[in-house]
Amino acid sequence: MPPLLAVFACALFAQTPTVQVLRFAKVWTATNAPVMENAAIVLEGNRIARVEKDSGKYATGSTVIDLRRYAAIPGMIDAHTHITYFWDGAAGTNPRRQPRRHPAVAVILAAENAKRTLQTGVTTVRDLNASAGNDYALRDLIEMGKIVGPRIVAAGAGIGARPAPPGVEGMRKMVEERLAAGSDVIKLFASTGGFEDVTGKQTLSYEEMRAAVDAAHAAGKRIAIHTYGPAGFRDAVKAGPDSIEHGADVDDSTLREMARKRIWFVPTIDHNRFYIDAAAEFQFAAGSAEGLTSYIARNLDTARRAHAAGVKFAMGSDAVYSMFGQNTRELEWLVKAGLTNEEALLAATSHGAELLGMQDRIGKLAPGFLADIVAVEGEPWKDVRAAINGIRWVMKDGKAVSGTASR
């Protein structure tokens, strides 16, 4: 083709993106619009052009996908994962005692977690700690289309007090280093706690947290603080991050302050349920279930009082290893914490998008948004269990990535 003609052909092609029409029984858009019945979601390329009454008549050349047995919800957002932590269940190993692996191998293995995450209807994750830049690599390979998985907002390595407390200057430097290395978001570990350990002893000072918050915000980035216990939580609220993860035994005045400062809460209640269920595969010491059970009750109580105080919630699983595929079980805990079914679903869609600063492109089924669309059996806005057990088909960025539909 002569060069001029080639340019012309490209321009023509760019102006006529592929049109796909998705037919649904019901569409829950995560906007203020009521649930639409017998609706069609019309896509142009990887974006939603419109949501309309299904007329049964479509433009010539459009691909029509029949999902009329299902309801549509936006692709969900898991605001707290560790997607590069992989375990294959090999004999003689447990998730935390595995052979040392080259980072390239770890990234390729993590593709399995990515696939299982998509199967739950989660199309975006915020990943809050990984070693060796494995999360950056997985994020970039998914973005390039070389690995099928959710969009990843990556923190790289979380910053904590090991090997030594960083101090204010050290903290500022570490935040800047993470951002230069490729982190989209900053993660701090401000207390002990993780796996079967639920101690929650504060490990970073208020001054260190504040230095990290200021450095991240000065660079236009967001920051999440992990704290299991109340002292670290109080100082985290004072420091003013974008979200606080975990949390138990937090007093009401701290929760009111959190609501006033519009700090998101990602309580990750379900991950300790997972640790109880998976205690044998992790080979936790006998009696670990007692501490975990007690923490769940106090974590849930804090979440309840936070909701009553007006704190905003995002859904985060804290999924690791074999928990991928269970990413959305947190939804049921959010309902136990007092959110309505619809509020819980918002925590996993448009509110999660707000926490990530991506509210203009994900988390809603609306014109201009990326085509992240999940077909569900049931009505999850009335009963979130449908979003946990009823996922039948998943589209991310305009491409079907899980399940089957008829054309």
Q: Which residue is nearest to Zn ion (CB)?
A: 318
In sequence order, the 6+-apart residues with CB closer than 8 A to the CB of 3 are none
Least separation in angstroms between residue 332's CB and Zn ion is 19
Q: What is the rounded CA–CA span in Å between residue 121 and residue 31?
A: 18
Cβ closer to Zn ion: 195 or 206?
195
| 153: β partners | 126
Q: Is 135 in the site for Zn ion (CB under 5 A)?
A: no
Cβ closer to Zn ion: 35 or 161?
161
Least separation in angstroms between residue 78's CB and Zn ion is 11
Distance spanning both ends of the chain, measured CA to CA: 35
Number of residues that bind Zn ion (CB under 5 A): 1
Least separation in angstroms between residue 177's CB and Zn ion is 21
Cβ closer to Zn ion: 270 or 318?
318
Cβ closer to Zn ion: 244 or 371?
244
**329-357 burial, b for 16+ CB within 10 Å, e for fewer?**
bbbbbbbebbbebbbbbbbbbbbbbbbbe
Cβ closer to Zn ion: 82 or 221?
82
Cβ count within 10 A of residue 96? 13
Binding map of Zn ion across residues 307-326, x = CB under 5 A, - = no contact: -----------x--------
Least separation in angstroms between residue 196's CB and Zn ion is 14
Q: What is the layout of strands, in order, in the sheet containing 185-189?
A: 185-189, 222-226, 243-245, 264-266
Closest of 127, 128, 132 to residue 100, by C-alpha: 132
Cβ closer to Zn ion: 135 or 318?
318
Cβ closer to Zn ion: 74 or 160?
160
Cβ closer to Zn ion: 76 or 309?
76
Restricted to residues 275-314, the positions that interact with Zn ion (CB under 5 A) are none
Least separation in angstroms between residue 192's CB and Zn ion is 13
CA quadruple 298, 300, 301, 307: dihedral sign: positive
The two structure tokens encoding residue 18 = 């592929």
Closest of 401, 395, 369 to residue 44, by C-alpha: 369
In sequence order, the 6+-apart residues with CB closer than 8 A to the CB of 287 are none
State phi, psi for 400 to the nearest 5 degrees: -70, 125
Cβ closer to Zn ion: 149 or 160?
160
The residues that touch Zn ion, with contacts defined as CB under 5 A, are 318
